[in-house]
Chain A
Amino acid sequence: MHTDFIGFSLIKMYSRSVIKALLIVLIALFSSYQSVAQDAAKGKELFSTLCQQCHSVTDEKVIGPGLKGIKGRRDEAWIIKWVKNPQAVISSGDAYATALYAKFQPLVMQSFPDLSDDDIKNIIAHVEASAAPAPAAAAGPAGAPAVAAPASDSPSGLFTAVLVALLIVMVLVLVVLLTLVTILSKAVGPTGEDGGQTKSFSDRLKTSLSAAASNNIVRSIVLWLFVFVVAKQTFDGLYSVGVSQGYAPKQPIAFSHKLHAGQYQVNCNYCHTSVYKGKIATIPSANICMNCHGEIKRESPEIQKIYKAIETDTPIEWVRVHNLPDLAYFNHAQHTNVGQVQCQTCHGEIEKMEVVEQRSSLTMGWCIDCHRKTEVATKDNAYYDKLVALHKKGSKEPLRVANIGGLECSKCHY
């Protein structure tokens, strides 16, 4: 965007031939900048999943050293070798590595044999880019597909609407009736013995109210109103049986998602290890906590609880917050990995929660609602190619989950 503006102003300032030449140069520059940005973006993704837990992009020490200016410190080949297998570099007797080891022991960096050379270069690019402040802003979050916002999910939505409509009608009827009564009484008033004008307003109100109270129509309206309100309350109450929206139990260890996921931006996947792999996201085992807390804040009483659990070999009994009934089958991987749904879509703004709370109702209506609205993440997934082609023939609407059988019973119940 920024470059576009510059380009536009250039057009105004120079003659056409110069513009042409400059445009070419600009396009070249732009595209080269793009490719760098691409690398850094990839690197950022990798960095936040793999590196961020121990390293910062500044020179601040987290667990391992800060990485600012890493390229100046070591050459790329060395870094690649190191990241892939630090232990090997240390044992090869490399002076820098040995010094590093001496400084940080007993901790040794985890090895990442699965990372390709390009991956590591991308990460370095990201670190470098973060050090240079301006372009860092350009690297936006990886484009997530459009996902419908969690619906307001009162199962009795329609019911409420009907009730409100009825109420409005009744109020209107009341107003009309009252007006009629007033007009009629005015019409009748002057012929009366006392004369309408002599009566005070409060007296008139009293009489009209008592008249209204003794009026059958008004009485039945009030009665019906009462019945409707009670009925609505009862139905709402019944619908909420077993729905624990807002449930935020106290956990045995005061773990803060706000701190970890929010402030330190630890990727969800780092602790909930199988959230992209399988049915269960998994609650992290104590050894995952120890990856960082083996070093950080060891003395905190909350973290001491983890130490104690490990020492006494007693697992930590967390209180389960989100609990689907056994009759419904839910698989995280289908939603996070295949559907590319963000964690927050169902779990709410988890990165702002001090204590985890169930934000969504987790009712079947809520599930179905989302399945009706959500577009299928078909991009780059050959599984859906045929379905997309078929769908395009018959409809101009995007392919939604409901279109491919997302509302069928056996998708969740078996």
Chain B
Amino acid sequence: MESTNKRYWRGLEELRNDESFVKNAYKEFSDTDINKSTESGSIVDGIGSDRRDFLKVLGFGMAAVTLAACETPVHKAIPYLNKPESTFPGIADYYASTYSEGGDYIPVLVKTREGRPIKIEGNSSSSLTKGGTSARVQASVLSLYDNDKLKGPKKGEADSEWGTIDQEIQAQLQRGGAIRIVSSTLLSPSTKSVIAAFIAKYPTATHIQYDANSVSGLVQANQTSFGQAVIPSYDFSKAKTIVSIGADFLGSWIAPLEYTDQYITTRKVGANAGNKKEMSRHYQFETGLSMTGSNADYRTPIKPSQEGLVVGALYNKVAAKLGGSPISTASIDVPYLDKAANELAASRGAALVVSGSNDPNVQVIVNALNNLLGSYGVTIDLTRPVNYRQGSDAAMNEFINDAKAGRVQSVIFYAANPVYDHPRGAELKEALPKVGLSVSFADRSDETASLCKYICPASHYLESWDDASPKAGYYSLTQPTINTIFKTRQPQSSLLKWAGLNPNYDAFIKSYWRTTIYPQAGNGLAFDQFWIQSLHDGVIELKNAPAAAAGTFNAGAVATAAAGIAQRYKPNASGFELALYEKIGVGTGAMANNPWLQELPDPVSKACWDNYACLSQKTASELGVQQFDLVTVEVAGKPAVELPVLVQPGQADGTVSIAIGYGREKAGKSANGVGKNVYPLATVSANALLFTAMDVKITKASGSRTIAQTQTHDTVMGRRAVIQETVLAAYKKDPKAGRYFPKVVTSEGPVAPNDISLWKGYEKPNHSWGMIIDLNSCTGCAACVIGCQAENNIPVVGRQEVINRREMHWIRIDRYYSSDAEPEDRKGLEIASSNPEVVFQPMLCQHCSNAPCETVCPVLATTHSTEGLNQMAYNRCVGTRYCANNCPYKVRRFNWFKYFDNDNFDYHYNNDLGKMVINPDVTVRSRGVIEKCSFCVQRIQEGKLTAKKERRRPKPDEIQVACAQACPTGGIIFGDMNDPESTISKLLKEENEARAFQVLEEINVRPQISYLTKIRNKDEEAKPVAAAAHAEHHAE
């Protein structure tokens, strides 16, 4: 039943047919040892209870029901005293706002119900993000209701009052001495202005910004190359050839959301992209398999010690073609380097090289390379510098030195937690007591704040006023969508207060906008109108903003940089090497106490609730360790870290990759003790902070720790026509390339499965809701997963329950590895598994028209609607789980426990504050029932009602489901297939005869969801080249 001769697998255990995999592969539910279950045994659990317990519970139940029937409980209905005129209970209000935490910038719309924010959507008015969202911004609403946050200001350990604290801090600030404000990147011009006002009052104060995942090496390199200490704007959409050396630009590098949108426009083909049949070609050279690397056409694993040399070699090869002067770095031979160089040179003027290295020398060579390729002015714009990362590693280093030497009198930490997330955090921890006055604006008593003398908790961004300017001419506003829940105060108000100014920050922003931004806007509106318009729209983009000077390229610096590279990088270093990386969920760890993010499987490793040491299969074998074995990772002069092993296909041999953002100690219940903090393993040089280390020692430790990894959960039972893919050249010749057309043998010869049926089928006279998922547009970013979780009240089950294969996500992103090797060629497959191709496939309920789940439900809890929906009535479900067993896509989820109001699942839903995030339009499921994707039926119903109230049909694409709305690339297209004007109908009309396929068409369940084939921009004769390359690589 294979569509291609490719072999797809979801984990090495599947490829190898491990016992653990085989045991579970054909079971919907695992035989979990109940003792390992999260909930402790008690009578009511049904765990470990015998017949007598059963009878007791039964008897109690009967009595309880009888008693309950005697009198209806009295419910109170409490209306407003003074109802705001435009707010109606039961009707959602949307406010435009902006998420800008740690330099991540996303304009959003906040959905509020009865005065509480419950969902974040992207703001499509922004030309930078175009309404896209990330997993983190989707999850940020849950952090608002985090019960581990401080409820008011603190002095030391004791609770305090704002009045007293203000007086004491002001008095101490007035004593003088060096004052340092340490913050992460601040995008807000008004906040900068507040800090300037503060500094004007206290002239000994300076403002230091640093980023946990720093790119200050890039800024330094631009200073060297162009005399501009900035990060330029990148435009991936104009690039025909993209080479990334270790830059995870779709996941964690600078402005991933903006780059994702640009990148995907170059990757879309066919009807989805105006019948375009061209794609960019993307090369990735990197250590660990990143989400960006997974999307690359050609990917080469390299060691961190080779990074500089790859850049150097690439430069030399391109220079040889385009006539630049070569540099002297050691030559290196890794697969696809020549090919990449050739294509870069060929697409001069439409090429882009990016590097994730924080080594200024490497970035200088990258600049030289881009200069050679004519990228400046096309794919890179120095005249539009961005503000996403403003941290300076050197300044932060100097601050820690000063603090250690006792030269700092006062320090204020603003959205910064350097004790945790700076490699020299331990030194700072020692030094902090020496500082006279230490204040933190953290919302919780975190690693840094708990060492400070005062904590002045900041309000959440959904409770705050702010603005943001991601780049010159682009402004947006943040407005509060709820009153402050606790006695918190915005840092800006605190600073203004201490500077003896009016602490009213919203008035401050308004006057800042009046004097600074309004005159530039010049759109003829009175200021008040302009202000209201800006608040309403959330973003304002001034196209006529003055451009910065571009600077001329300084070729002289190249040789120095090359010398620096020659010194640090070695072509064939022998020792183990370390590369730290950032995950899309937990990120730098600032939002670690968000259980949604903790339980979000990493797009590549599919692991959650942990960080781990990623090793290649070869390295693991050499070390004599297996999956989940504990290893000790030691970097010279740094504390050793003990972590479980995760064998990661695509990891460079001899390297280990570990995610930052874990190992929080004082973040809250969900984050504390999850994983290990690896920030201390980073290398600190005078100028830059490097997330790599060489000469690392990895030794096997005793014991093991199971990683909650979802990759082999929900397998498709050996059916393999799930992914259908081809290469661009084949697609150009035949748009149906890569598609698999199954045939069923009948007495009249073979026919397509859809041509025969036992069922009469359902008529869909009104609407026919359907979806298209473009495999070319899916980067694996998982914004849809969290968007769905927020919309549909999906519970978090915790690490142990994920290990028990009981995660609850309604939409998951299946990540398949594949290679060109023949399925029978075991040796070939083994080699291939060292650097496989990757494809992401979002998988959710397919809303089959011949749904296998419906026919087996004994109580008719799951039925079909006339609008093409596969409905699930929770209250009818008795929990037989037949449906889940019979679902070919494995998308039904069973509530093994009551996940709400249950202290065994301490993930915010067990307290009144956390439950404020619940969407009131969606039932909270109880224990013992099945649930699954409903196509956001609450949104469909609401959209239809809006149309009916206005006496019209719904407009095309008016109704959107949560996953489609969250998707930053438009890879999920939802709509009414009965409406000829909807995008989905138009697309299907074109693509039905081209890329559109249904997963498992051969079983004739007729899903409402179609997928578009994955198309890689590889050479058509990819197989021999790839094989050769693999062999060559293997021989090293």
Q: Tell me the A residues contacting B by CB distance below 8 Å.
A: 237, 240-242, 244, 247, 249, 273-274, 277-280, 282-288, 309-310, 313-320, 323, 326-327, 329, 331, 333-334, 337-338, 380-383, 386-387, 390, 404-405, 408-411, 413-414
Residues of A contacting B43 in the complex (Cβ-Cβ under 8 angstroms): none
Q: Contacts A273-B88, A315-B80 hold; do A241 and B873 have CB atoms under 8 A apart? A: no
Interface-central residue, A319, A408, A411, by most chain B CB under 10 Å? A408
Residues of A contacting B875 in the complex (Cβ-Cβ under 8 angstroms): 327, 413
| Further contacts, 17 of them, CB under 8 A, given A277-B88, A320-B77, A334-B945 | A282-B79, A283-B77, A285-B79, A285-B80, A285-B81, A285-B82, A316-B78, A317-B76, A318-B79, A327-B874, A329-B938, A383-B953, A404-B766, A404-B866, A405-B865, A413-B874, A414-B923
Q: Contacts A274-B89, A277-B91, A329-B938 hold; do A319 and B76 have CB atoms under 8 A apart? A: yes
A411 CA to B938 CA in the complex, in Å?
9
Q: How far is the CB of A127 from chain B (nearest CB, A)?
A: 28
CB-defined A-B contacts under 8 Å, sample of 10: A242-B72, A244-B72, A279-B91, A285-B79, A287-B80, A318-B77, A326-B923, A331-B941, A411-B941, A414-B937
A316 CA to B934 CA in the complex, in Å?
38
Residues of B contacting A279 in the complex (Cβ-Cβ under 8 angstroms): 90-91
A387 CA to B944 CA in the complex, in Å?
14
A404 CA to B767 CA in the complex, in Å?
11
A283 CA to B88 CA in the complex, in Å?
11
Q: Is the interface of A mostly helix, strand, loop or mixed?
A: loop
Residues of B contacting A318 in the complex (Cβ-Cβ under 8 angstroms): 76-79
A207 CA to B871 CA in the complex, in Å?
66
Which residues of chain B from 912 to 933 have a CB within 8 Å of any chain A CB? 921-924
B1023 interfacial by beta-carbon distance below 8 Å: no
A329 CA to B873 CA in the complex, in Å?
12
B175 interfacial by beta-carbon distance below 8 Å: no
**The one of B68, B79, B765 that contacts A315, using a Cβ cutoff of 8 Å:** B79
Residues of A contacting B951 in the complex (Cβ-Cβ under 8 angstroms): 380-383
Residues of A contacting B871 in the complex (Cβ-Cβ under 8 angstroms): 408-410, 413
Residues of A contacting B924 in the complex (Cβ-Cβ under 8 angstroms): 326
Q: Are A282 and B72 in contact (CB under 8 A)?
A: no
Give the interface residue-count category, chain B: 35 or more
Q: Are A383 and B938 in contact (CB under 8 A)?
A: no
Which residues of chain B from 726 to 779 have a CB within 8 Å of any chain A CB? 765-766
B44 interfacial by beta-carbon distance below 8 Å: no
Residues of B contacting A383 in the complex (Cβ-Cβ under 8 angstroms): 944, 947-948, 951-953
Residues of B contacting A316 in the complex (Cβ-Cβ under 8 angstroms): 78-79, 81
Which residues of chain B from 33 to 70 have a CB within 8 Å of any chain A CB? 65, 68-69
**The one of A242, A274, A287, A338 that contacts B81, using a Cβ cutoff of 8 Å:** A287
B543 interfacial by beta-carbon distance below 8 Å: no
Closest residue on chain B to residue A244 by CB atoms:
B72
Q: Contacts A333-B945, A338-B948 hold; do A285 and B83 have CB atoms under 8 A apart? A: yes
The 8 A CB mask of B954-995 against A (1 = contact, 0 = none) is: 000000000000000000000000000000000000000000
Q: Are B948 and A334 in contact (CB under 8 A)?
A: yes
Which residues of chain B from 351 to 389 have a CB within 8 Å of any chain A CB? none
Q: Are A338 and B945 in contact (CB under 8 A)?
A: yes
Q: How far is the CB of B508 from chain A (nearest CB, A)?
A: 30
Q: Contacts A382-B952, A408-B871, A413-B874 hold; do A280 and B75 have CB atoms under 8 A apart? A: no
Q: Contacts A282-B79, A323-B75 hold; do A408 and B952 have CB atoms under 8 A apart? A: no
Q: Tell me the B residues contacting A by CB distance below 8 Å.
A: 65, 68-69, 72, 74-83, 88-91, 765-766, 863, 865-867, 869, 871-876, 921-924, 934, 937-938, 941, 944-945, 947-949, 951-953
Q: Are B90 and A278 in contact (CB under 8 A)?
A: yes
A310 CA to B867 CA in the complex, in Å?
48
Q: Are B91 and A338 in contact (CB under 8 A)?
A: no
Question: Which 9 pairs show the lowest CB-CB distances between chains A and B?
Answer: A280-B90, A279-B90, A285-B83, A285-B80, A410-B871, A320-B75, A274-B88, A320-B77, A409-B873
Closest residue on chain A to residue B79 by CB atoms:
A283
Residues of B contacting A333 in the complex (Cβ-Cβ under 8 angstroms): 945, 949
Closest residue on chain B to residue A284 by CB atoms:
B79
Q: How far is the CB of A276 from chain B (nearest CB, A)?
A: 8
Residues of A contacting B922 in the complex (Cβ-Cβ under 8 angstroms): 414
A158 CA to B541 CA in the complex, in Å?
68
Q: How far is the CB of A404 from chain B (nearest CB, A)?
A: 7
Residues of A contacting B75 in the complex (Cβ-Cβ under 8 angstroms): 319-320, 323
A310 CA to B81 CA in the complex, in Å?
7
Closest residue on chain A to residue B84 by CB atoms:
A285
Residues of A contacting B948 in the complex (Cβ-Cβ under 8 angstroms): 334, 338, 381, 383
A287 CA to B83 CA in the complex, in Å?
7
Residues of A contacting B765 in the complex (Cβ-Cβ under 8 angstroms): 386-387, 390
Residues of A contacting B77 in the complex (Cβ-Cβ under 8 angstroms): 283, 317-320
Residues of A contacting B68 in the complex (Cβ-Cβ under 8 angstroms): 241-242
Q: How far is the CB of B612 from chain A (nearest CB, A)?
A: 38
Q: Are A382 and B81 in contact (CB under 8 A)?
A: no
Q: Contacts A414-B923, A414-B934 hold; do A280 and B89 have CB atoms under 8 A apart? A: yes
Q: How far is the CB of B924 from chain A (nearest CB, A)?
A: 8
Closest residue on chain B to residue A377 by CB atoms:
B948
A316 CA to B871 CA in the complex, in Å?
39
Closest residue on chain A to residue B865 by CB atoms:
A408
Q: Are A410 and B869 in contact (CB under 8 A)?
A: yes
Residues of B contacting A411 in the complex (Cβ-Cβ under 8 angstroms): 941
A331 CA to B942 CA in the complex, in Å?
9
Residues of A contacting B923 in the complex (Cβ-Cβ under 8 angstroms): 326-327, 413-414
A242 CA to B67 CA in the complex, in Å?
11
Q: Contacts A279-B91, A280-B88, A383-B948 hold; do A409 and B876 have CB atoms under 8 A apart? A: yes
Residues of B contacting A414 in the complex (Cβ-Cβ under 8 angstroms): 921-923, 934, 937-938, 941
Closest residue on chain A to residue B934 by CB atoms:
A414
Residues of B contacting A286 in the complex (Cβ-Cβ under 8 angstroms): 79-82
A279 CA to B91 CA in the complex, in Å?
7
Q: How far is the CB of A191 from chain B (nearest CB, A)?
A: 60
Closest residue on chain A to residue B92 by CB atoms:
A278
A315 CA to B79 CA in the complex, in Å?
7
Q: How far is the CB of B790 from chain A (nearest CB, A)?
A: 16
Q: How far is the CB of A356 from chain B (nearest CB, A)?
A: 11
Closest residue on chain A to residue B924 by CB atoms:
A326
Q: Are A405 and B72 in contact (CB under 8 A)?
A: no
Residues of B contacting A323 in the complex (Cβ-Cβ under 8 angstroms): 72, 75
A240 CA to B924 CA in the complex, in Å?
25
Q: Are B79 and A410 in contact (CB under 8 A)?
A: no
Q: How far is the CB of B640 from chain A (nearest CB, A)?
A: 51
Residues of B contacting A382 in the complex (Cβ-Cβ under 8 angstroms): 951-953
A329 CA to B874 CA in the complex, in Å?
13
Q: How far is the CB of A42 from chain B (nearest CB, A)?
A: 18
Q: How far is the CB of A372 from chain B (nearest CB, A)?
A: 16
Residues of A contacting B89 in the complex (Cβ-Cβ under 8 angstroms): 274, 278, 280, 282
Interface-central residue, A242, A279, A326, by most chain B CB under 10 Å? A279
A317 CA to B79 CA in the complex, in Å?
8
Residues of A contacting B80 in the complex (Cβ-Cβ under 8 angstroms): 285-287, 315
Residues of B contacting A320 in the complex (Cβ-Cβ under 8 angstroms): 74-77
Q: How far is the CB of A402 from chain B (nearest CB, A)?
A: 11
Residues of A contacting B873 in the complex (Cβ-Cβ under 8 angstroms): 409-410, 413
Residues of A contacting B876 in the complex (Cβ-Cβ under 8 angstroms): 409
A410 CA to B938 CA in the complex, in Å?
9
**The one of A237, A274, A387 that contacts B91, using a Cβ cutoff of 8 Å:** A274
Residues of B contacting A381 in the complex (Cβ-Cβ under 8 angstroms): 948, 951
Q: How far is the CB of A5 from chain B (nearest CB, A)?
A: 38
A288 CA to B72 CA in the complex, in Å?
30
A151 CA to B693 CA in the complex, in Å?
78
Q: How far is the CB of A114 from chain B (nearest CB, A)?
A: 13
A404 CA to B763 CA in the complex, in Å?
11
Closest residue on chain B to residue A312 by CB atoms:
B81
A317 CA to B76 CA in the complex, in Å?
6
Residues of B contacting A317 in the complex (Cβ-Cβ under 8 angstroms): 76-78
**The one of A314, A331, A405 that contacts B766, using a Cβ cutoff of 8 Å:** A405
Q: Are B69 and A242 in contact (CB under 8 A)?
A: yes
Residues of B contacting A280 in the complex (Cβ-Cβ under 8 angstroms): 88-90
